[in-house]
Every structure is written in C-alpha cells, then in structure tokens.
Homo-oligomer: A and B are copies of this chain.
Amino acid sequence: MARQGTRPRRATIFDVAAEANVSRGTVSRMLNGEPYVSDSARDAIEKAIAKVGYVRNMAARNLATQRSKAIALIVHEPHSVFLEDPNIGAILLGTNERLSEADYQLVCLIIGSDRDSARIADYLRGGFVDGAVIVSAREHDPIADAIAHIGLPAVFVGHPESAPDMHYVGIDNRSAARDITRALLATGRKRVGMIAAALDRDSGSERLAGFRDAMGDDFDENLVVDFPLYSRNSGVEGMKTLLERAGDIDGIFAASDAVAAGAMDVLRQSGRSVPGDVGIVGFDDSDWALRCQPQLSTVRQPADLLGREAASMVLELVNGVTPETPGRILPTEIKLRGSA
C-alpha cells in the first residue's frame, strides 16, 4: 500500500461536488456529457475539478457501468517470431488507430508461456476489457477456448478451423498462394518446390494448399519441406534440404518473405543466381522483400487494414451490433519484382 501512504488521498467526485456546491449527480452528468446541466453549474464544476485536481477513478466507473472502454489485443507468438514477424506490428498499429478513433484504449497482452495464458484468461474474465482481438492463434489455442467460454466479444485475425464459429478477418491465403505460385510457374520453371511453415496455423496450411492447387499434377511431395516458424532460419534450413534432395530445382515458393530471404542467401552461397538459376517468390510484402537482392516477388497482404477491420468488428460486437457476415476477407495483391 505504498501509494496510499505517500499520497494524501485522491480527490473524488464528492470533493468536486462539495467544492462546486452541487450534488455528485450533477458532476457525474457533466463528466459524461449528458444534457441538463446549467451553465452556472458547469462553470463551477470545471473550476472545482481544476482546483482539487480531480480525475475519474476508472475502476469505480467500470464497476458501475460494467464496461471498461478498453479492448485487448492478444498476441500468441514464440519470442523469436514476434520480433521477426512484420505483420504483427502492422496489425497492432492498425487496431490501435481504429480504436483510438472510437476513444477506446488498446491493451496489448503477450502470451509467452502457459503461465501467461492462465493469467490472461483471468484478466479477460476480470472485466478489464470489453472485447478482444486475437492475433496468430493456432489450432486449439487454449486462450481461444477460454474466450469462447467467457463469452467475451472477440475477433480473430486469421481463421483457425478449430474455432469456426468465431468472428474473424483475414485474407484468402489459399487463393493468394495459388496465384503467386502460378506467377512463378509462368516464368517457365520446371522443378518447383515449397518451403512451408507454421502448418499449425490456418495461414500456414492454406498457403500449402494453394501451392498444391497451382501445381496440379506436377506437385511433388518430395519438393516440399515444412518448419514450425515463419522465420529466416526456416528458409535457410529448408533450402539446404531441398538442394540436397533436388539439385536441379529451379523454383521456390517460400511461405513468407523472411523464409524467402533465408532461402535466397543459401542459393547465393551455393553459387546459384536468382532469378537466373532459381526463381523465388514469398508472401507478406514486408520490408524483407525490399531488402533482398534482387527484390522479392511476393503477395502483399494489408496487415494494417486487417487490424483496422478487426477493431471495427469488435467494436460492433461490443455495441451489440451483429456484423453482416461472421468473417471478412480482405483482398491481397501480387507484387512482381525481380526474384522470379
């Protein structure tokens, strides 16, 4: 109780009321911008607030109103990927922007361990937030189950199959993967493989499915490797494996730009040129894509818009509006650059 000891006592609405010679009801109305407050009362209250240094106690307000005007953004990522994944940051910022417009506070919660999971479930149940946006949940994510159980308004970024009845925003990973693979094939490649990643997430498995779609009869299981993370290192290891398996490979679809970057480095080290000997395409259109030499052909996904849409949707849910559709799919765009 250090805070209580050192500071005298926070001014309450009672203090303001006494100072302004009105009742706390009037002060409350004024604070909440309700009508029916006289000009004279308004003036007196304003002065009183300034004088006693009053600020609302949100805990009390929450208790009385049963809402908090805060929305959680839950990020479930192993450490290394959180640092490398360019989408999460953009989603975060997009969500924050939209919530800010609605005067809601974004509260970002990180799941780094099982212990975090349990504590965060308590936090969500505790009434600290009115809703939640979940980023990068995987199939059968405990936190997703907890949210469903609590009944907290929630929107997923992405669409895990294990939570089919939850609201979501996302992109059509499968179609996009198909299209970018076709673009790669259109450059005349004969032996095309994929470095897949994160098959435990919908984005990962759908990208693989799209690749398969595009390859049709030419699909060769032997030319597909997969790794847990969308990381540069996955690209490095994956490319090494593929080169061992098929030295004549001439096309690579990497599950993300970071993966592609790793793969490209290995190709270079092995003396192969890009796009001369091997064509390579990625996914995300993150800054990895621009930093590659040559720059990467990839799929642009509107990460910031995903965040914005998720925020809009959760605001609707919180306000009792049922969204027209349970999910929203945002368009992606093929970006052709020099790598294929």
Contacts and interface: CB of A to CB of B under 8 A. Distances in A.
Contact of A116 (B1, B96, B115): B96
Given A3-B66, A60-B63, A63-B63, A100 B119 contact: yes
A151 B7 contact: yes
Chain A contact surface mostly? helix
Nearest to A111: B96
Given A66-B1, A291-B261, A57 B127 contact: yes
Contacts of A320: 1-2, 5
A198 interface: no
A271 interface: no
Instruction: Tell me how many chains of this kind the complex includes.
Output: 2
A86 interface: yes
Contacts of A126: 55-59, 61
Contact of A59 (B59, B153, B287): B59
A110 interface: yes
B110 A58 contact: no
Contact of A128 (B58, B97, B112, B232): B58
A118 to B, nearest CB: 10
A: interface residue count bin: 35 or more
Interface stretch (A101-109, A160-168, A178-186, A325-333): A101-109
Interface in A1-38: 1-7
A122 B105 CA distance: 10
A106 B143 CA distance: 16
A106 B106 contact: no
Nearest 9 pairs of A and B residues by beta carbon = A58-B126, A2-B320, A108-B108, A59-B62, A83-B89, A55-B125, A59-B63, A59-B127, A96-B110
25 contacts: A1-B66, A1-B320, A2-B153, A4-B66, A56-B126, A59-B59, A59-B63, A59-B128, A61-B126, A62-B62, A63-B63, A70-B123, A79-B93, A82-B93, A83-B93, A84-B287, A96-B112, A96-B116, A100-B112, A100-B113, A105-B109, A107-B108, A232-B287, A232-B291, A291-B291
